[in-house]
Amino acid sequence: MKNIAVVGAGFSGAVIARELGKAGYRVSVFDARPHIAGNCHTERDAETGVMVHAYGPHIFHTSNEKVWNYIRQFDEFMPFVNRVKAISKGRVFSLPINLLTINQFFGKTFNPKEAEAFLASIGDQSIAAPQTFEEQALKFVGKDLYEAFFRGYTTKQWGMHPSELPASILKRLPVRFNYDDNYYASTFQGMPKNGYTYIVERILDHPNVTVQLNTRFERAMAPGYAHVFYSGPIDAWFNYSEGRLGYRTLDFVTERHTGDYQGNAVINYCDEEVPWTRISEHKHFSPWESHEKTLIFKEYSRYCEERDTPYYPIRLAKEKSQLKSYIELAKGEKNMTFVGRLGTYRYLDMHVTIAEALDAAERFLELDPAGGVMPAFAVDPLG
Ligand code: UDP
């Protein structure tokens, strides 16, 4: 039996560990934190009984049927659709921008065609190929909607003006010319009945897989394993020799109340003057449960310092050039593959993480028995 090390017990690490364990490898999983499931970790709050997304809201959605079938082996998924509300200048709107948002914001009764023509008329059509977040917004939704929903929120979320950020960040959000207020365009969406930590626990529950928490995987430990799958921060593995890769981190200020605090799971606060970006009320992520008390997170975004938990990779020109150097270093490592959000320094939704982990495991299981060598990356971190 070959020994394999998997660093990190989030979705990446857990899925790879299970697939290799199933194939007959002896897999040791290490995580520096005292719990599994990484930033997807959920736990029940003792005081309110509410299932808390300890590192902020995680809503499972995917159009990948293979991933949807895979994840549902480990827990029942309950119906949940993320319908976000946004507060801007004293008024509440529906997000992502849809026909209701447009009609309410402009005091109109447009039908889909009229709304589309209207947005085209207020959009800045002199911008041919938008490069920045701001250009993308000005072209497709115009100045008023940009200033109401995106400028303040994005400045708070990224600590930068939208003119310094890439258009790709805004492209994550759709603009709809109908009344569909589902935040995601995915085919499948839902919430695990018992939370994400339960799912990861079940994924890791295999006789060939062992988990060591509170354990940092050190370079000196690597020679004991035929291969290492590393889902920790790529810069940390190389002792930050090329400088620290920039991340945004989040602070959550918890409040407990009685009854229903805000009537919805997520409300975004788009005005720059309000210091938090959004408030999440966690019992609304489990609408099949009932709780008298409630727990909310006020979410604040800031630059990730040394001891903070990294969330969003910044990935501007400077970070990308550092990343290039780390990629070269990674390619020089023997028998090691860098995976996941932190291992490849990319923004990854849970379903993408799982799909990539399944692919990485599959690739290893083809290569290794044939004497092939698994490369440092199963995906292109710059892609
Ligand atoms: N965004 C915004 N206003 C909003 C919601 C999102 O300006 O009310 C911008 C912001 O820059 C954010 C990006 O759109 O980073 C993508 O939003 P998404 O909801 O996907 O962010 P996440 O849930 O990953 O934090």
CATH number, position 228:
3.40.50.720
Residue 18 lies in a domain: yes
Strand residue runs (E) in 49-185: 51-53, 60-62, 77-78, 84-88, 91-95
**Residue 133 in domain:** yes
Same domain, 380 and 334: yes
Ligand 1 center from residue 118 Cα (angstroms): 24
pLDDT of residue 130: 96
Question: Which residue, 172, 196, 228, sits at the end of a domain?
Answer: 172
- Residue 277 domain-assigned? no
Residue 349 lies in a domain: yes
91 is catalytic: no
Same-domain status, 102 and 159: yes
Catalytic, 176? Answer yes
Is 363 an active-site residue? no
Instruction: Tell me the residue range of the domain where 152 lies.
Output: 85-172
Residue 261 CA, ligand 1 centroid: distance in Å:
22
The per-residue pLDDT for 352 is 98
Nearest CA to ligand 1 atom 23: 57
Looking at this protein, which amino acid is placed at residue 57?
P
Q: How far is CA 42 from each of CA 73, 96, 279, 302, 311, rounded to the nearest angstrom?
A: 18, 26, 17, 22, 16
Q: For this structure, is 202 an active site residue?
A: no
Domain match, 147 and 209 both: no
Residue whose CA lies nearest to ligand 1 atom number 7: 150
Catalytic residue at 55? no
Is 88:149 a contact under the CB 8 Å cutoff?
Answer: yes
| Per-residue pLDDT tens over the stretch 314-337 | 999 999 999 999 999 999 999 999
Ligand 1 pocket by C-beta < 6 Å: which residues?
86, 95, 149-150, 153-154, 157, 169-170, 172-173, 268, 270
Q: Is 299 a known active-site residue?
A: yes
| Residue of 105, 135, 172 to test ligand 1 pocket, by largest number of atoms within 8 Å of CB | 172
Ligand 1 center–CA 104 separation, angstroms: 21
Q: Which of 340, 349, 351 is nearest to 377 (CA)?
A: 340
Task: Look at residue 383 in the predicted model and tell me its pLDDT.
Answer: 86
341 belongs to the catalytic site: no
Residue whose CB lies within 8 A of the most ligand 1 atoms, among 134, 138, 150, 350, for a mutation test: 150
Residues 233 and 380 placed together within one structural domain of the fold? yes
Ranges of residues in the chain with a pLDDT under 50 are none
Residues 150 and 89 in one domain: yes
Sign of the alpha-carbon torsion through 103, 108, 114, 120: negative
Q: Which of 102, 105, 98 is nearest to 180 (CA)?
A: 98
Same domain, 92 and 15: no
Measured in Å, residue 344 CA sits from the centre of ligand 1 at: 21
- 101 in a domain, yes or no? yes
DSSP secondary structure string, 297-337?
A: EEEEEEE--TTSPP-EE---HHHHHHHHHHHHHHHTSSSEE
Beta carbons of 339 and 362 less than 8 angstroms apart: no
